[in-house]
Structure 1
């Protein structure tokens, strides 16, 4: 039994995720983080705070994110082949620090069982987060990588992995998002440098690599699924991109891309602003499951099978 599950979500077989999630998304994150295999607690590494220089005001950050980003040659092709890309200099050090401070205020200091503090839909509460999440710069990169003209927002995510917090389990977002489309892309914008010890996002290379694990039974109670995915990737010789993030780097990954994130074995919190976008016209799947959390918070007043186009799913505009 997993203590984060209600009687309704724990019922049935270990791989039975058909019940709807019946808690909030903070509880969902505590449950999901409990599915990652972790070793002994590491000794925390001291890391210095970043020095971003003079900080811009909110208007300057928003203006920066209005400017198009020139996607380098070969990046679109690399994304199609690998399922992810990491791009340098998407945000300036000053903009990253301003966003980090804002997310710290918005998340507050409440503790969690997992050591991961998370909130979604902050774009509805804060103009600066709204400017970042709906920015033409991020939208332009995302649309170019997917090769679609019009994207909508699924949700944003403020993720703070506290010192000592453990791994995020191996997964692919298509298993989570209740969207009947593979034209879905997620961004991961760390708001400080992320050395290896801080737990950067890591990706299994290959857009179709997920097929190696599609028949593995999911374990909603323990860590066996996470362990079996890692074993399968090793046995198949799949290359895993697990590189540090420099300040200003932003990653973009497909909903099909298998990915994980390491434990934060440093003395500083790891703050990230993430967001997920999907091609306009996508529908909600016919049977959302507990793995999608409280998805109706993100796509309200929309029934399974209907087009996901609520007021909380605005069109994001490329430059």
Structure 2
């Protein structure tokens, strides 16, 4: 499929952000942007990504027999390494520039991509902070979350706890029933406003900060919720000493050959956009 890479949409054209959108993201820790990829672009890239997810799906048990994390989604990372066509999507300059603009930085590198496909009957994604998994000591991280198919109000966007990113590191809890309960109580206690953007079209995106608390509902529909995510960090940040097994595992997986104190940027972390 798509041996001719020249026929793939480049995804390099600029998506203009307003100052209001940038300040809203910096205040709340999340934002919805409509139509970041158009329908023709999605029509080309969705089958490519879906095909690879199907090939690389590691689940061998039906949904109802898995643990909470396993029920939440089919998860496939670094698709861009497996396929030049998928790499066109993950490494797209258009998406990377939005990430840099929202964070207010001069350049961004790829941390990794992840397809997160929530099956029909798939469970909820518990409350968590992404960055407890990442060996970085910075708030300059951001995730793009793009549905490749329309998602209904029932499934919706993720739910975000607005301004929770300002607190930074809350606790080390990995995604679990315990994190859902404990962080849910924390959100209530702090009085954070919860925001869900509802239905999204294929090609709409949310961006959220690495520290923003978020969760996602289950999938009660008959169709697969197909989402592609791309995680970026600001160019020039340093790797922190990993203080948990999750962060040690991430350092080995996504920053191969690098050590604490190094400027993050292994062969798996290309510079995707730079203003300078």
| TM, length-normalised to structure 1 | 0.74
Indicate which of 219, 222, 233 corresponds to 1:278.
Answer: 233
Say which SS state the counterpart of residue 197 (structure 1) adopts.
Answer: coil
Runs (5+) with no aligned partner, structure 2: 61-65
SS at match of 2:45: helix
Structure 1 partner of 2:134: 177
Quote the Cα distance in structure 1 between the aligned partners of 2:203 and 2:181: 32
SS, match of residue 91 in structure 1: coil
Instruction: Find the residue that maps to 1:157 and give its secondary structure.
Output: strand
Change (3 A) 1:209 1:263: farther
Q: 1:85 aligns with which of 14, 18, 31?
A: 31
Contact 1:139 1:318 in 2 (8 A): no
Higher CA-based Rg: 1
1:146, distance to aligned residue in structure 2 (A): 0.8
Given that 1:81 and 1:207 are in contact with CA atoms closer than 8 Å, whether structure 2 keeps it comes out as no
State the 1:200 CA deviation. 2.5
Which position in structure 1 is the counterpart of 2:42? 96
Which of 128, 149, 158 is residue 85 of structure 2 equivalent to? 128
SS of the residue 2:23 aligns to = helix
Is the deviation greater in 165-174 or in 139-148?
165-174
Residue 242 of structure 1: CA displacement?
1.1
1:16 corresponding residue in structure 2: none
Q: Which has more helix, going by share of residues?
A: 2
Residues 95-125 of structure 1 show CA distances to partners (whole Å, capped at 9, x for unaligned) of 2233221122101264353242111111112
Give secondary structure in 2 for the equivalent of 1:153. strand
Mapping 1:174-213, distance limit 5 Å: 174-208=131-165, 210=167
Cα contact 2:31–2:206 (8 A) shared by 1: yes
Please tell me whether the aligned partners of residues 156 and 196 of structure 2 are also in contact (alpha carbons under 8 angstroms).
Answer: no
Partners of 1:138 and 1:85 in 2: CA distance: 14
Q: How many residues align?
A: 259
Cα displacement (A) at 1:283: 1.8
Q: Gaps (5+ residues) in structure 1?
A: 1-56
CA 78–245 in structure 1, closer or farther in 2 if over 3 Å, else same: same
- Whether 2:221 is the aligned partner of 1:261: answer no
TM-score w.r.t. the length of structure 2 is 0.85
1:241 is matched with 195
Give the Cα–Cα distance (whole angstroms) in 2 for the partners of residues 227 and 201 of structure 1.
17
Q: Which residue of 1 aligns with 2:253?
A: 297
